[in-house]
Structure 1
Amino acid sequence: MKKIISNIMGELILTYQENGYQEVLDTFTESDYINIATFNINSFISNSYLIHGLREIDVSTPVTLILNVPEGDYYHRRINYILMLLERERFGNLNVYFNFSNHAKLIMTNKIAYIGSQNFSDASRNNYELGILVRELEQVQKIESEIFEELKNNSVLYSTSEYNVRMEELSSLLNGSIKGIRQQIFTVYGDGYPVPEQEILDIHQAYFDKNNWRKFEELYANFEEVINEIIDGYQEVLDQEAIQSYMNELNLSITQFISELEELSNFSIFQEESMMWEKFYENDTGDNLDYHMEKAVNVVREIKEEEFHQLEDLTDILISLFDSIEEQIQNVMDRIYEIREEMISRTLLFNETIIRNRQ
């Protein structure tokens, strides 16, 4: 196999005791993506300048790392350290691939590319290294699409630990949704000091959309499904009694929560005008229109005031439910955190098996 890209123009750089791709590193925080292909990384240096640099990149920036695992002394320990070092929970949007035939070195963003002899490794600063920097954007895009993609397509994806995947999944399922519903229903008054912040149910501003909590019910069903999968997969190490207790409490709270929301949505300020005309037509006899209109307005006002008082009575109940649901979700997440090391350990073993089988 041979890939050729003609007429690539750049600057030839010879370095010693510094990085030939420093200009590429300088663009990391302002780039759309970061791609790195390297034969080796520093696998035994916890304060690696380059690794810490990757951890500081915004989580929205995808980082793709293609790595070989050189054989040698302490090979087994090296593999495990690399796997733990590159565990995704330590980074933002990091995706790691292993390619056991790779000896190429390519460090690039959508702005600039380095091609040369230097690994993405702090130790390589101590060597004489030779490379080329390519700045022309069209050529950078060709390197990305024709060279880096070729390497990636012939590599095996590192499996992020189940703990990290599951926690991201669970967190996204419920937390954002419950906060969104809360913000739509309640108005926050007070500036914290000297007036304490408090949530007020204001019928003129509260927004009741049944689709929102129906969607929340669906998300909770997915949440339960993921929890049950974790329980089934980690029966021997998970405190099943505790997590099941929290799930039962959460289930009861959500059932009551949905019921209270149904009550709150029975009357809304947006129904007032249509209700007024309905009462007017019920009583209108064709004479004394002003009297019948005023009567209709008063009837609707009375209904509104009665409903609003009921809403006020439910305010504390609903706030308490919001708080308890958030607390119970956190309790469930805490139980899963207790088996974090086991979940990561199993994934490391899985990745090590892949690496050994591909060598």
Structure 2
Amino acid sequence: MSYHKFSLIPGQIDVVTSKGESNYQEVLNDFASADYIFVTTYNISQKREALLNSLKEAATHAEVRIVTNIPNRYETYYGDNVRKKASESIDHYTRKLTSNDNEEQIGAFFNFQNHSKVVLTNNIAYIGSANFSEESSNNRETGFIIRDKELVQVVIDNLIPIILDESIRYYRNSFKEKKLVLPLLASRLESATMRIEEESYTYIGRFEEVKIYNHWDPQLRKESLEVLLELLEEVEDEIYRINELYETDEFADLIDSDAIEQIKILCSEDDNISELASFNESHYASDLIAEWNVHNEEMDEAAQRASDQTFEKKQELAEAAEQDIESIFLNIQKIQNSFEVVIRKLSDLEDEQETSIDNT
């Protein structure tokens, strides 16, 4: 094995040349303490997993980005054998970069004109001839090790954006997952809506039932509102995760956040809907009787009067909440419509990715 190093700028930049061992081993050693890792390479190993596994392990504590070309992939194919070989290579690379559980921390990119090699963390950087593959250690490779953190940051701020802007982000199987999660959330939102509707409305008519608001005895429960609010938080969390995953604010703009916020306001404590849902008839009637300081012989009459006033109070609360409850349903419909837009956008991105990467 051969490894030689000499300083260009002592303590800042070294030249390293090696054969029989990794030319960027010092950067690999820093993976365990890094907050950020970036790799760009022409190819990755066909069969060996050690370097990719080191990235996947680091992704538990660091933001990781890897950019690779796909050997044997061309813009145009002249012959079935060439096309088949390219298809196999594309399949191999996408599968290799799919097999991790840290998709939101590690980002895989393809760049079909890339031949540069960079391996760096936020602490130390390598720029040279060695690919991010175990096989590269068999060759004579030469590069620069940058140890000065300020110089490393200059590389991060200036070189990496150029490479990433020219690259295609690979999102693995996340499209399928998100297109399952979002309809499930939409279905749960529909169930929560029906639950509130059943507690607030009634149906009349012998043959053709007509839905009318239940002014006289609504059964709206506070638990139903809490289920709805918790579900809306899940929706916001999922959209946030989608934005983080695809590194964009576009999906947050597609979801009707104003409708979500309006529902939260309508269901807030001491608002009309919350007062109706929290109204306890027994407690209200008991408080009235206690307030009247009724003697035993007057209890039956007082109980009837308390019952009548409780009924009137509930009707009053129901009338005050009617428009707000209708507004909830209108806003839920807006959210459901925006879900459909998000799912269509995910489908478009999935189609765009597939045609951009696999052109065979």
Computing the radius of gyration from Cα coordinates, the structure with the larger value is: 2
Please, what TM-score do these two structures have when normalized by structure 1?
A: 0.49
